[in-house]
Amino acid sequence: MILFGDTFIELISITRPALAGLGDANGFRVARLIEARMKMGGGVAMVALHSKDMEHDHALIEAQGFAPWSPITFEWQARNAQGEPFDSGVILDFLHDPRQPFLTQFLCQQLRPDLLRPDGHFPDHPNGASRVSALWYVSDDWERDIHFFRIIHGEERISAVEGGYHIATSKADIWLVPPEQASSRLPSLGSVAALPPRVVAISLETTDLAAATRAWQRNGIPFEQVSPLAAEVPATVLGNTLLRFEQCEECLW
């Protein structure tokens, strides 16, 4: 888990392939979706949406026209740094269209949200990343795929942009654009295939872009300084996903 103030990135792999076909109570096979994404070279398989009240949010999405499955509760016992056991878990509500599997999002209510709050014991990364600011999806038919986002996020959060759509959420922006628009907005991306619709880039805000680029130089990480306030680490470095780091402008003052 890569923890930020109000979001996180979770790195997932398949350690027991023989069990990947197991489904939850709704028949949804999470591991199969992750496995399919890994066969493409990796990348973002699903996007979690924060829920504080699953019952309310499930009913809201259902009322907007989505036919979600029943929420699933996963609980487990873990141990803290002192070796003491404690109970933890999540409630998940998968919003999945098998025709466009890598658009999958899911409501996620943490039963122990305190465990996902940075507590000061973990050092900041030298790249200064402070939050996820945007997700970039490409699509061969953004007019078709915006319907998926519309019934999840609501019409009021969606606005048309040149050649695509912008979806505003309380955590980060979502962009749904054709490949040529993504390549124009993300110079290091280069040409990308339009199929399947999927996330191709993540934007991260950093408190000190200059410190980030120095850290990359020390560690031999390739990057492109695309403007005084933005630098991009190419998709070949991490999980088939471009990472765009943008200077937090408020942090300059």
**Domain boundary pick from 116, 143, 161:** 116
Same domain, 173 and 239: yes
> Under a CB-based contact definition with an 8 Å cutoff, are residues 35 and 14 in contact?
yes
Same domain, 183 and 146: yes
What is the DSSP-derived secondary structure letter of residue 108? E
- Percentage with pLDDT > 70 across the chain: 98
pLDDT in tens, 29-56: 999 999 999 999 999 999 999 999 999 9
Residues 39, 150 within the same domain: no
* Averaged pLDDT of the chain: 92
- pLDDT of amino acid 81: 75
CB 132 within 8 A of CB 202: yes
- 19 inside domain: yes
Where in the sequence is the domain holding 210, given as residue range(s)? 129-252
Residue that is last in its domain, among 116, 149, 176:
116
Which tens digit of pLDDT belongs to each residue from 219-229?
A: 999 999 999 99
Q: Report whether 232 contacts 244 (CB < 8 A).
A: yes
Query: Residue 91: inside a domain, yes or no?
Result: yes
Q: Kindly state whether residues 226 and 153 are assigned to the same domain.
A: yes
Same domain, 71 and 133: no
Question: Pairing between strand 164-168 and 173-177?
Answer: antiparallel
Same domain? For 182 and 212 the reply is yes
Across 181-188, average pLDDT = 95
Tokens of 211: 């410190």
User: What's CA 55's distance to the chain center, in Å?
Assistant: 23
Q: What pLDDT score was predicted for residue 118?
A: 65
| Helical residues (DSSP H) of the chain, grouped into ranges | 30-39, 54-63, 142-153, 179-185, 209-218
Q: Name residue, tokens 């398989």.
A: 45
Phi-psi region of 220 (alpha: psi -120 to 50; beta: other; left: phi over 0): left
Please tell me the total count of domains within the chain. 2
Last residue in a domain, options 85, 116, 147: 116
| pTM check: above 0.85 | yes
In degrees to the nearest 10, what's the CA dihedral of 121, 125, 128, 132?
-90
Concatenate the DSSP letters of all residues of 170-235 into one string.
Answer: SS-EEEEE-HHHHHHHSTTS------S-EEEEEEEEES-HHHHHHHHHHTT---EEEETTEEEE-T
Q: In whole angstroms, how large is the CA radius of gyration of the chain?
A: 19
130 to 5, 127, 223: CA distances (angstroms)? 7, 9, 19
